């Protein structure tokens, strides 16, 4: 993540009181702020966040230079046209009062109690309930947002009602008002406590500092955290599909049904245990980032368990990690505790994996001759080698915090071993982090399955020796955006290595998991990627074609195979064609579909505009396994390459057309099945 060099990060986490209160709708955000410079862009002087990335904020210069605005998630409640907004001209020592008043759908911004801007929201006001948080500095809590406010804060308040210009004019920084604030920070004591008593615990960390009664944001880094200190009632929640399922929802992919969004939807902590497969994934529970929990007998048909791994239960949000087994055979999880600044470990206390021990912090011992500043405390993995536990923390070489390694005999006391990698690969850039790691033996190599946030899912093959990993080969598994992201794997009851990834397609659902993939590494050293064999239980109504020829320029509709919830198994052979394959989602004339094809000379597997490297040996036939689940497509080519795509289409566009361009192609086989739903 790249940060503006002169900006400062400060985050104020707030967990509201357990008292039964109406959610905040009408409200007023007030802050006395002095921007350090007028060139900065997009930071927040005060944000309230609902814990799921829905937020309202006092934002400086996000859409227009040196102008204040009412910020919100994807500008849903913001005014984008800002030509008439006054430009801020105050110097860095002048504190200005900025207030944003929310009354119904009306949003009014005041500067020093004078009208600055006003607009009507296009949608209903955002509610802020028990999981609400507040940020100062960072516009909102999303990890990859680089925008922060630089300067000083003299006073920050939230009122649980709309204030008028007269009310605002009467307010003085650090002076109690006749109207009682809902929350209030004056920064006039070393702990910067909330003066209303709503939030009992506060902590100033890093380079953030209190100076002369001000919160100073000096561009170095730090965090100011507050918590209520009261126990928030735990809300049991089981993700459940609605009675009226939207027509475009997927049929045989596992996807988060709500409540909350599966964003991020990273799969985590997978096990085969006591006759069932268990998988967790991140979603936005009303309590914050939590692990949804599903289990299955076949990795195809899943049931949701009640969500129990939530911030109220663990004391922190649930970010990416993996599952492993203790030496005595109990399932355990290691993950990053969002907001805790540390990686955490918990051990299952029941066979349904619904009850977990209190998290144990992975806090390594640092010897005087070691540099502990390189430890990122980021996405972890853990495994057993001999009598020892090893834990890996993700990181980014370009940030100075590369992946690091730790060792323990008991999961409680950890030694720092230093860097995990002996070297990096020449095809990996310095800014490509290693996150969501999963490390295991495969074939005669060791494999690091992980992501780069810039490139998505990828893997390294190499050798684990003398408590170091030497990578020897590196390849990608994702080809567009975050279509195949945050991988996780397990070993099946019969010894297969099976992996999933989060498919952040933006449509039609959140929290979509890829189809399970079996991965193997035979003696030739080329990774094989196959769809899970258990998926065959979903097949119905088989249709097939005899071996046939497609002359150059041929388009051959196949009405018997029409549909948008299907599996295809196709074999092709061509010595001359420039491109061959099939189109899906074709119209009634068999045209205007999405091409899924191979370009042998260009060494490309194509899914519409997506072009994926794929090399054929001389004379080698092509076998395509294609899984079509309405708008989502997964393609496997010769068990050596795979790709994911999404394609919106009209419901009536379900035609299938075979084609060959630039030469003749022989269709060796063409078999298709309708696919049954995995949902009851």
- Round to whole Å and give the CA distance between 435 and 553: 45
Question: CB–CB of 667/550 below 8 Å?
Answer: yes
Tokens of 672: 């298709």
Residue pair 304/294 in contact by the 8 Å Cβ criterion: yes
- 7: three-class secondary structure by DSSP: coil
Tell me the per-residue pLDDT of 30-43, one tens digit each, with 9 for 90 and over. Answer: 999 999 999 999 98
| C-alpha neighbours within 13 Å on the C-beta side of residue 385 | 16
Q: What is the pLDDT of residue 488?
A: 98
Q: Is the preceding omega at residue 387 within 30 degrees of 0, hence cis?
A: no
pTM: 0.74
Cα–Cα distance between 614 and 643 in angstroms, integer?
A: 11
> Which H or E run includes 314?
helix 311-314
Mean pLDDT of 11-20: 40
Residue-wise pLDDT tens digits, 98-135: 999 999 999 999 999 999 999 999 888 999 876 677 88
Residue 10 has pLDDT above 60, yes or no: no
CA distance 621 to 602: 16
CATH number of 267-531: 2.115.10.20
Query: Residues 6 or more apart from 566 whose CB is under 8 A from it?
Result: 628, 672, 673, 674, 675
Of the CATH numbers 2.60.120.560, 3.30.160.620, 3.40.640.10, 1.10.340.30, which one belongs to the domain with range 538-675? 2.60.120.560
Q: Mean of the pLDDT values across residues 300-328?
A: 95
Per-residue pLDDT tens digits for 427-452:
999 889 999 999 999 999 999 999 99
Least confident of 118-132, 341-355, 514-528: 118-132
- 8 Å CB contact between 148 and 7: yes
Domains 267-531 and 538-675 share a fold: no
- Which residue matches tokens 């684990």? 464
> Which contacts (CB < 8 Å, 24+ apart) does range 400-404 have?
400/373, 400/374, 401/373, 401/374, 401/375, 401/376, 402/374, 402/376, 402/434, 403/376, 403/434, 403/437, 404/374, 404/375, 404/376
For residue 77, CA distances in Å to 104, 134, 283, 310, 547 come to 12, 18, 23, 28, 58
Bridge-based pairing of strands 414-419 and 364-365 is parallel
User: What's the whole-number mean pLDDT along residues 62-77?
Assistant: 94
Which has the closest alpha carbon to 139: 49, 13, 267, 16? 49
Residue 41 has, within 13 A of its CA and on its CB side, a CA count of 8
Distance CA 625, CA 641 (A): 11
Instruction: Tell me if residue 167 falls in helix, strand or coil.
Output: helix
Q: pLDDT by residue (tens digit) across 396-433? A: 988 889 999 999 999 999 999 999 999 999 999 988 99
Closest CA to 130 of 271, 9, 227: 227
Hey, how many other C-beta atoms are within 10 angstroms of the C-beta on 2? 9
Tokens of 602: 């260009």
> How far is the C-alpha of 545 from the C-alpha of 95, rounded, in Å?
76
Distance between terminal CA atoms of the chain?
A: 42
Which of these, 483, 398, 472, 405, lies nearest to 437 by C-alpha position?
A: 405
Q: What is the mean pLDDT of the chain?
A: 91
| Per CATH, domain 27-227 is 2.60.120.200 | yes
Where residue 231 falls among pLDDT bands split at 50, 70, 90?
low
State how far the Cα of 30 lies from the Cα of 590, in Å rounded to an integer.
Answer: 60
Using the predicted structure, report yes or no on whether residue 618 has a pLDDT greater than 80: yes
Query: Distance between CA 163 and CA 179 in Å, rounded?
Result: 9
Count Cβ atoms below 10 Å from residue 548 Cβ, excluding itself: 14
Judge whether 44 and 71 are in contact, CB under 8 Å. yes
pLDDT at 139 over 70: yes
Query: H or E element: which one contains 166?
Result: helix 165-170
Please check whether residue 298 is in contact with residue 533, taking contact to mean a CB–CB distance below 8 angstroms.
no
Domain extents in the chain: 27-227, 267-531, 538-675
Q: Pick the closest to residue 501 from 344, 345, 270 (CA basis).
A: 270
């Amino acid at each position: 993540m790249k940060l503006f060099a002169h900006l400062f990060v400060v985050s104020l986490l707030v967990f509201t009181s357990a008292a039964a209160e109406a959610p905040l709708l009408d409200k007023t955000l007030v802050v006395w702020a002095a921007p350090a410079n007028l060139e900065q862009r997009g930071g927040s002087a005060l944000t309230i966040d609902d814990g799921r990335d829905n937020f309202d904020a006092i934002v400086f210069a996000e859409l227009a230079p040196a102008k204040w605005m009412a910020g919100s998630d994807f500008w849903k409640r913001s005014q984008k046209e800002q030509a008439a907004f006054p430009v801020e001209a105050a110097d860095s020592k002048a504190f200005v009062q900025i207030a944003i008043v929310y009354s119904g759908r009306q949003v009014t911004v005041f500067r020093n109690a004078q009208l600055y801007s006003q607009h009507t929201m296009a949608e209903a006001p955002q509610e802020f309930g028990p999981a609400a948080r507040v940020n100062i500095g960072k516009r909102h809590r999303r990890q990859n947002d680089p925008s922060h406010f630089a300067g000083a804060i003299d006073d920050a308040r939230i009122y649980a009602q709309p204030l008028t210009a007269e009310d605002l004019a009467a307010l003085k920084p650090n002076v109690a008002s006749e109207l009682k604030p809902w929350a209030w920070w004056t920064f006039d004591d070393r702990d910067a406590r909330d003066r209303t008593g709503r939030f009992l615990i506060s902590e100033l960390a890093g380079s953030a500092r209190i100076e002369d009664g001000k919160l100073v944001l000096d561009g170095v880094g730090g965090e100011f955290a507050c918590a209520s200190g009261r126990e928030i009632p735990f809300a049991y929640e089981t993700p459940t599909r609605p009675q009226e399922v939207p027509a475009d929802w997927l049929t045989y992919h596992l996807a988060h049904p709500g409540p909350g969004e599966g964003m991020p939807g990273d799969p985590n902590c997978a096990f085969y245990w006591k006759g069932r497969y268990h998988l967790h994934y991140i979603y936005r529970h009303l309590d914050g980032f939590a692990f949804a929990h599903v289990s299955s007998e076949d990795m195809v048909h899943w049931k949701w368990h009640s969500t129990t791994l939530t911030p109220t239960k663990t004391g922190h949000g649930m970010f990416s990690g993996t599952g492993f087994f203790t030496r005595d055979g109990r399932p355990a999880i290691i993950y990053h505790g969002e907001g805790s600044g540390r990686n955490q470990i918990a051990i299952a206390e029941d066979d349904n994996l619904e009850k977990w021990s209190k998290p144990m912090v992975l806090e390594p011992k640092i010897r005087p001759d070691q540099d502990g500043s390189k430890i990122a405390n980021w996405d972890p993995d853990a495994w057993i080698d001999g009598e020892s536990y090893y834990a890996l923390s993700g990181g980014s070489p370009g940030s100075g915090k590369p992946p690091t390694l730790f060792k323990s005999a008991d999961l409680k006391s950890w030694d720092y071993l230093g860097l995990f990698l002996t070297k990096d690969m020449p095809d990996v850039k310095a800014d490509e982090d290693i996150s969501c790691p999963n490390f295991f033996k495969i074939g005669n190599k060791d494999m690091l399955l992980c992501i780069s946030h810039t490139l998505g899912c990828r893997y390294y093959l190499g050798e684990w020796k003398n408590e170091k990993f030497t990578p020897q080969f590196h390849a990608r598994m994702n080809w567009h955006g975050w279509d195949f992201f945050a991988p996780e794997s397990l070993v099946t009851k019969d010894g297969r290595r099976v992996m999933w990834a989060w498919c952040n397609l933006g449509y039609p659902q959140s929290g979509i998991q890829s189809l399970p993939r079996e991965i193997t590494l035979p003696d030739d050293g080329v990774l094989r990627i196959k769809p899970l064999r258990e998926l065959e239980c979903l097949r119905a109504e088989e249709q097939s074609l005899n071996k046939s020829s497609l002359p150059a320029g041929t388009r051959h509709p196949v009405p018997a195979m029409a549909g948008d919830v299907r599996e295809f198994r196709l074999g092709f052979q061509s010595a001359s064609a420039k491109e061959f394959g099939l189109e899906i989602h074709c119209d009634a004339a068999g045209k205007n579909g999405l091409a899924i094809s191979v370009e042998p000379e260009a060494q490309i597997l194509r899914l519409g505009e997506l072009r994926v490297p794929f090399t054929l040996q001389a004379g080698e036939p092509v076998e395509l396994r294609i899984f079509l689940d309405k708008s989502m497509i997964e393609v496997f080519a010769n068990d050596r390459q795979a790709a994911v795509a999404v394609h919106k289409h009209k419901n009536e566009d379900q035609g299938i057309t075979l084609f060959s361009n630039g030469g003749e192609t022989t269709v060796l086989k063409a078999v298709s099945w309708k696919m049954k739903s995995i949902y009851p």
